[in-house]
Structure 1
Amino acid sequence: MPVTVRVVDPVEWSTDSVRLTRYAFQPSPAELDTERELVRAKTYARFSRTHVLYEDGAARATAMVWRMRQHVRGRLLPMGGIGGVATDPAARRGGRARTLLTAVLADMRDQGQVVSTLYPFRPSFYERFGYAGLAQERRVRIAPAALLPLLRLDLPGEVTLHRQTEVAGEIQRFETELAARVPGMAVYDDPDGELLATQTPEWAAVARLDGRVTGYLRYTITEHGADLDAHRFLYRDPVTRSLLLAWVARHTDQVASAVLPLPPGETPETWTADADLTVETKVAPMTDAAPMARILSVAGLAGIDAGPGELTVRVDDPLIGGVYSLSGGGTLTVTPGGTPTAELTGHGLAALVYGALDPAELALRGYGSVDEPAAATLRSLFPATTSHLVAHF
């Protein structure tokens, strides 16, 4: 049976791709409003590429790649964010997704994207494609009453409430600015916030200091006496964090709890005395999977922050396989060739670059063969860090 994989136009997206993703990820059966989907497709097409695998002319599998940028050790690198990977149920377990994703990975590399991330339905499936796991986002559930002392502080700045669509451009520009400081943070190539303006309506409590956006809380309230559920809680500094937490405190007699995402290293137990809170990290296939990342171009990593050291590695990977000499001492230099003294898989390299694993752990995962001297050099080149993807797609 003839099989082709190609990038589709908005019309095909609104019919062929959407049919597959809706069946895979949304309640069904449901009527498909193709006119409404076509409007969305025309917007999405400016920021993404949607691939469809056709078999005998019928759409059998699909995947969308968002054009994004990600902070990787001091640089914002071109990133492909993969989402909406779906296969027709009649075509599952037959290798179509593998064929599709092999083509998608090559296309991302050819489009100049250096790294890729995704949220897997099953991590072991994407591990076969060279993706390594990243840290899962933590969330804190806190009683707003615990934050009431913050309302007594004389804090500079202000918080104003908006529909997210009203401030989408400001929010997007703030996120892009913040991404330059937050390891692992990814943002859409969408300086005016056009994509954010099309998403499900949410509240945006925006903090400003001297008229400049320094943080925001994006949330919904399920019902009176229930939760204030935040999907973004981002801030530039402790003052802004306190401004936003004081905003949460103003909901003491409206909601029972606020549920806030936490950046790595944040310690909510220190926000105020007598805090009533729970911090949790949930990881589960399909519903709460931790993100994963992959390297699409080793040469494209040149210029990221790297510690002192020199090492030549052989990378065993169908997309980026080869021998590379790596040297640091400020920024990373990548030179093809040399005599390798360590072997890494594609996911092994990703795990090191993103700080997800120590070199000594690579052999335990089947991610490479590294002796102790090589491990010490890799540890120096890629010091331990925690990457926080932030974006969901």
Structure 2
Amino acid sequence: MSNIRQVSGDERLHTAFTLYPYAFDKTPAADAAGELRDSLRFHEGNHTLVVEEGGRTLATASGIPTHQNLRGSVVRMAGIAWVATHPDARRQGHSSRLMHRLHRDMLDTGHLLAALYPFHPSFYEKLGYVGLLLNRTVTLSPQGLAPLLNVALPGEVRRQDIRDGFEVYRAFQRRLLSERHGFMFTPDYRAARILDPADRWLATATVDGEVAGLLTYYIDGYGGCLHADELLYTSALGRALLLRFLAQHAYQVSQVTITVAPDEFPETWAPSLAVRTVTEASFPTSPPLMGRLLSMDALQGVRCGPGRVEIEAVGDQLLAGRYLLDGTGGSIDVAAAGRGGEKATLTAAGLCALAYGVLDPLDVVARGLGEMSQGAVVQLRELLPRRAPHAFGKG
């Protein structure tokens, strides 16, 4: 009979870590054991579970203690990762059991949301997850940004090694956590991965001494490509300063690639800018992030429109029940149902799609994730209008 237990520290090496190389890396790899031992420090605060039978590890999953912005409220979130099952033990329900246990464990420690990159989206939708919006990859020539070189902008951009700028990098991410819906902030031990092997430059835009934007990047060679990570900024001025910095690399690199948020419009950055913007979902290598609520408490006090609706959440171990969501005071009050109002029946995935703002109520119905009256559609649109989560800050 298999059992689930938590493992930590070096014990991960001969339990959970025995499954990682085969599931996630090129195999066989002679140096896999050494690389995993070196990576232990990046797992130190993870909540790691394993399924064992007769002393053999059959499956594993981990929760990373993270924070996420949900419509302006910063909430503790569990980043679910390293879900793997031995090939001989697949399709036997181990992953489902692990996920249910991991959800409850993380909820017991105050985590009200969960997010993950799925290997099988329909599997996770049944567990209450909904797909979020993909970030976009922008490719352009730095010469296309040349008009920005002629614009007088207050502020400056400083370039430094990521090791030297790590504290600035983390402080700015922490600031964006409080400002951007969907933004995630991982623990320090996890974010420190960027320091090993520290192969990034950090460009920091400041205005009047305050950081207004930053960008990590590397250059793959003369005449090659400048590969930028997430374009992070708090104002159009911060963004413009960083784009002007990229323009200064004309004749050094032939192109620039940047990761931007789903609601960014690069074609407006400069006149006559030739740009290619790509959003590509593929499985299992490039899936959209999926997220879910672990508790209705995640919605308590969230800023909202003036809607009022009674919902019944069905088919989920954690969220099942009847609730009244009342936004007439400008923030959601979650109470027991029974005071009347328009009614909707939602799966956990349908409820989470509305909470994150990725689906309209009618999309929820069309996807088979819920049923509701026309009045409930109107109320839910007011209460939880569509928004684009900025799923940045993954660490």
Which TM-score bucket, shorter chain as reference? over 0.9
Distance (whole Å) between structure 2 residues aligned to residue 357 and residue 75 of structure 1: 19
* Superposed displacement of residue 327, structure 1: 0.4
- The 1:43–1:123 alpha-carbon spacing in structure 2 relative to 1, beyond 3 Å, is closer
* Superposed displacement of residue 14, structure 1: 3.0
1:287-316 deviation digits (Å, cap 9, x = unpaired): 211111101000232010121122221111
1:328-374 deviation digits (Å, cap 9, x = unpaired): 02111011342782211101110001111111122221211111011
2:75 matched residue in structure 1: 77
TM-score (norm 2): 0.93
Structure 2 residue 244 is matched with structure 1 residue 242: no
Distance (whole Å) between structure 1 residues aligned to residue 280 and residue 374 of structure 2: 34
TM-score (norm 1): 0.93
2:347 matched residue in structure 1: 345
Structure 2 residue 334 is matched with structure 1 residue 334: yes
Is the 1:170–1:193 Cα contact (8 Å) retained in structure 2?
Answer: no
* Superposed displacement of residue 195, structure 1: 4.9
Letter aligned with residue 352 of structure 2? A
Distance (whole Å) between structure 2 residues aligned to residue 5 and residue 189 of structure 1: 25
In the alignment, which of 253, 256, 263 is matched to residue 255 of structure 1? 253
* Superposed displacement of residue 154, structure 1: 2.4
Alignment of structure 1 residues 1-393 onto 2, 5 Å: 2-32=1-31, 34=33, 37-38=36-37, 40-46=39-45, 48-190=46-188, 194-198=192-196, 201-316=199-314, 317-329=316-328, 330-338=330-338, 341-392=343-394
Is the 1:173–1:192 Cα contact (8 Å) retained in structure 2?
Answer: no
* Superposed displacement of residue 101, structure 1: 1.2
Is the 1:165–1:198 Cα contact (8 Å) retained in structure 2?
Answer: no
Is the 2:183–2:393 Cα contact (8 Å) retained in structure 1?
Answer: yes
Is the 1:44–1:195 Cα contact (8 Å) retained in structure 2?
Answer: no
Which consecutive unaligned segments of at least 5 residues does structure 2 have?
none
- The 1:201–1:59 alpha-carbon spacing in structure 2 relative to 1, beyond 3 Å, is farther
Distance (whole Å) between structure 1 residues aligned to residue 136 and residue 389 of structure 2: 13
1:25-74 deviation digits (Å, cap 9, x = unpaired): 1112113565664453245323x222222122211112221111111011
1:127-182 deviation digits (Å, cap 9, x = unpaired): 11110111111121110111122222222222222222222221111011012221
Is the 2:114–2:291 Cα contact (8 Å) retained in structure 1?
Answer: yes
Q: Which runs of 4+ in 1 moved over 6 A?
A: none
Letter aligned with residue 376 of structure 2? A
- The 1:191–1:90 alpha-carbon spacing in structure 2 relative to 1, beyond 3 Å, is closer
Letter aligned with residue 367 of structure 1? L
Is the 1:43–1:195 Cα contact (8 Å) retained in structure 2?
Answer: yes
* Superposed displacement of residue 196, structure 1: 4.0
Letter aligned with residue 334 of structure 2? V
Identity over aligned pairs, percent: 34
Distance (whole Å) between structure 2 residues aligned to residue 71 and residue 109 of structure 1: 17
* Superposed displacement of residue 199, structure 1: 6.3
Letter aligned with residue 93 of structure 1? R
* Superposed displacement of residue 254, structure 1: 2.3
Is the 2:158–2:205 Cα contact (8 Å) retained in structure 1?
Answer: yes
Distance (whole Å) between structure 2 residues aligned to residue 17 and residue 168 of structure 1: 30
- The 1:283–1:382 alpha-carbon spacing in structure 2 relative to 1, beyond 3 Å, is same
Distance (whole Å) between structure 1 residues aligned to residue 232 and residue 284 of structure 2: 26
1:247-299 deviation digits (Å, cap 9, x = unpaired): 21122122221111112332211211121211111111112111111010002
Distance (whole Å) between structure 1 residues aligned to residue 84 and residue 190 of structure 2: 29
Letter aligned with residue 375 of structure 1? V
1:274 match: secondary structure = coil
Is the 1:222–1:228 Cα contact (8 Å) retained in structure 2?
Answer: yes
Which consecutive unaligned segments of at least 5 residues does structure 1 have?
none
* Superposed displacement of residue 75, structure 1: 0.3
Distance (whole Å) between structure 2 residues aligned to residue 137 and residue 356 of structure 1: 13
* Superposed displacement of residue 213, structure 1: 2.2
Distance (whole Å) between structure 2 residues aligned to residue 269 and residue 354 of structure 1: 26
2:231 match: secondary structure = strand
2:188 match: secondary structure = coil
Distance (whole Å) between structure 1 residues aligned to residue 133 and residue 287 of structure 2: 10
Distance (whole Å) between structure 2 residues aligned to residue 314 and residue 274 of structure 1: 51
Is the 2:186–2:394 Cα contact (8 Å) retained in structure 1?
Answer: no
Distance (whole Å) between structure 2 residues aligned to residue 238 and residue 367 of structure 1: 37
Is the 1:315–1:323 Cα contact (8 Å) retained in structure 2?
Answer: yes
Is the 2:358–2:387 Cα contact (8 Å) retained in structure 1?
Answer: yes
